[in-house]
Amino acid sequence: MTQLYTTYASLYHKMYQSFINYDEEYKFYKDLLDENGVKNILEVGCGTGQLARRFLGDGYSYTGIDVSVPMLEYARREVPSCKVLEMDLRAIKLSATFDGVIITARSISYILSNNDALATFRSIIKAMANRGVLIFDFIDAKSFIPSINEGEIITHEVVIDNTRYKRESIFKKRIDTSWNWIWTSTFMKEENGLYQQIGTDEAELRAFTADELEIFLTLTGFKILQVLDRRVYAFDKGDCGDVEKGHLKG
């Protein structure tokens, strides 16, 4: 598992509140769930509970799962009323079923093989009530992979509690078997006017085409209802600014 979600969970919690407009993310998922009459939700990849707080505040029945224990600990501290569990999205085992399942924050990008993608969707459909709805986001390979300029440093800077932080990212394509890339990040904190390195992280991720995902979903028993496009929140600076995040609803 990437260190961003374990060793640097505290840093993730701070920085990503500036990278992501959680109110906007919440409204997007809420509107789609409401269209389908969903009030009983499972969030896959719930992280530190940013959406959990909003769903619970609006009266939804909510359960969240994540594979990162440090992230779940944050969620329990931030939102004591939320039910969050340590669980791999490829092997969901819950006694309850849900009218709506959402996979947020591009968590599907960490599913690197076709077999794991199939295992993920088979696992999710077992957790869904009859005629339930699945909504998830993904990074569109058609837009993203050609935009990677290997060796280029993409910088994000944020100010948190009057302290400036910076993340420098480098992407390297790994497309021998699927639309993967290596994301190397360096995290820095400003001290006395100079940036000091506070951590590094490296992870392999996967982008998908909509066609690929439609095949996975069809093979595992889903019916595709809608495919949407939205501008991605994580790569909205630098030369990757045209990357889009697709949404499949099944």
HEC letters along 6-44 = CCCHHHHHHHHHHHCCHHHHHHHHHHHHHHCCCCEEEEE
- The pLDDT tens digits for 85-134 are 999 999 999 999 999 999 988 899 999 999 999 999 999 999 999 889 99
Residue 19 has pLDDT above 70, yes or no: no
Report how far residue 40's alpha carbon sits from residue 236's, in angstroms, rounded to the nearest whole number: 32
**H or E stretch covering 47:** none
pLDDT digits 0-9 by tens, 174-231: 999 999 999 998 999 999 999 999 888 899 999 999 999 999 999 999 999 888 887 7
Q: Tokens at residue 21, please?
A: 């407009």
Mean per-residue pLDDT for 17-24?
A: 76
In this predicted structure, the answer to whether residue 237 has a pLDDT above a threshold of 50 is no
Query: How many Cβ atoms from other residues are within 10 Å of residue 43's Cβ?
Result: 26
Instruction: Please give the mean pLDDT across all residues of the chain.
Output: 86
DSSP state of 5: G
With a CB cutoff of 8 Å and minimum separation 6, the contacts of 65 are 42, 43, 44, 45, 46, 84, 85, 86, 87, 89, 92
C-alpha span between 39 and 44 (Å, rounded):
16
CA distances from 118 to 42, 44, 138, 182, 220 (A): 19, 16, 15, 22, 7
Beta bridge partners of 172: 182
Query: pLDDT tens across 86-98, in order?
Result: 999 999 999 999 9
With a CB cutoff of 8 Å and minimum separation 6, the contacts of 224 are 214, 217, 218, 248, 249, 250
pLDDT score, position 16: 65
The rounded distance, in Å, linking the Cα atoms of 209 and 140 is: 6
- Give the tokens for residue 61: 């029945």
CA 21-7-247 angle, 5° bins: 35
The alpha carbon of 133 is separated from its chain's Cα centroid by a whole number of angstroms, namely 18
Specify burial of residue 71 (Cβ count, 10 A radius: 0-12, 13-18, 19+). buried
Would you say 85 and 186 are in contact if contact means Cβ atoms under 8 Å apart? no
Look at residue 242 and tell me whether its pLDDT is greater than 80. no
Tokens, residue 78: 């931030």
Which tokens is 99 given? 């009218």
